[in-house]
Amino acid sequence: MKSSGLLALACGTFALGVAEFSMMGILSPLAHDLDVTIPQAGDFISAYALGVSLGAPLPLFFRRHPLKHILLGLCCLIVLGNGLAAAAPGYVSLICARFLAGLPHGAYFGVGAIVAVRLVPPGYKATAVAIMVTGMTVANVLGVPAVTWLTNAFSWRLTFLLAALWGAIAFLGILGCVPAAPAPKEQSFSRQVRFLKGPAPWLIFAATFLGQGSVYCWYSYMEPILQQITRVPADDMKWVMALAGLGMFSGGLLCGRLADRFRPALVSACTAMSIVPILLAIYFFSARALVAVPLVFLGAAALFGLGGPMQYLIVRYSRGGEILGGAGIQIAFNMSNACSAYLGGMVIRHGYGLASPALLGVPMALVCAGVLIWFYRRYPGRPGE
């Protein structure tokens, strides 16, 4: 039951991964079909991220309901939002549909992380969260390359139809495989927010925002960079997206396991430091395919390697307010996505070149590492021990 429950949760993150990350592989054909510029197409990424940020606190309004029921409702929103995106006739309607499709994303990850932690014994909790998140990485290994090929062969609308289909599959899987999970014991709102009085969650939120944004500045525009600077043929982008997904899969599982053996803040701090040379290399070597393509793997691995331990940390440092903690870290993730995609588009609009967003991420990664080292020194023991 435990393994099947984690698999069902991963089906939901698979649907969300297709909905979120497929945009990076279809940005150019989508912009061409809707007759908009690449920076304007980047607004579809920001709209989704804003939806995630505003939707992340939704479970707070249903905190007295069983967590399983909340997850089922969020799956229904996944199906609805992506179904509307598939049918969107133009720029404005797709912006609205992408916003709606993003609403369940953060809430699903927040509630799903709580359920995943409860499904496994001590010593495997960070791994359980990593397995849930792995659904998104598998989406990048299989789903994103598939929809990139489908977009180039047929239509970008199939991307969102696939996300809606997997949302429906996740609904059925959670309905049949996830055991009933009651709401956290602390029900009152005052107790839900009590954990925010300490610095620990704010340090986690800050590090998440900075670390996610450092990579996302570049990753939001990876496809046009690879096609227009690296000169990767459009037909080969599916393989590049598969490589990125493999990097996410590897980085997420590796750092999740390391976070079970070592202190999660230290694992994420080392990951943040590794982002700096990766982004610098991306900027300076984007025109060289033999360097630029492997860097896609490394950048994607760092993106998910940093995020997994952070989600584990917020669950452990938000005792009594896990739903709010999960919502908060998803807001941090996706406000970072929205801001970094916008800032990346802004520097491109101002003529600094398609590769210039990579440089924006360097100072963000450095500050992220500093915040995590501060956290590591301030909280020397494992949370809850």
Residue type, 301: A
- Structural element, H or E, at residue 140: none
* pLDDT reading at 40 higher than 60: yes
The whole-number pLDDT of residue 100 equals: 93
The whole-number pLDDT of residue 191 equals: 67
* pLDDT reading at 183 higher than 70: no
The mean pLDDT of 35-55, rounded to a whole number, is 82
* pLDDT reading at 212 higher than 80: yes
- pLDDT, one tens digit per residue, over 253-296 is 788 778 777 788 888 888 989 999 999 999 998 888 888 889 99
Domains of the chain, earliest start first: 2-378 (1.20.1250.20)
Residues in CB range of 237: below 8 A, 6 or more apart: 25, 148, 152, 223, 226, 227
Q: Are 310 and 255 in contact (CB under 8 A)?
A: no
Is pTM beyond 0.75? Reply is no
Nearest Cα neighbor of 17 from 278, 244, 222 is 244
> How high does pLDDT run on average in the chain?
81
> Could you identify the residue written with the tokens 């899969």?
249
Residue type, 171: F
List the single range of 164-178, 293-307, 311-325, 365-379 with lowest mean pLDDT: 311-325
Supply 294's token pair: 């492997």
Residues in CB range of 89: below 8 A, 6 or more apart: none
The mean pLDDT of 33-59, rounded to a whole number, is 81
The whole-number pLDDT of residue 276 equals: 93
> Could you identify the residue written with the tokens 């061409």?
32
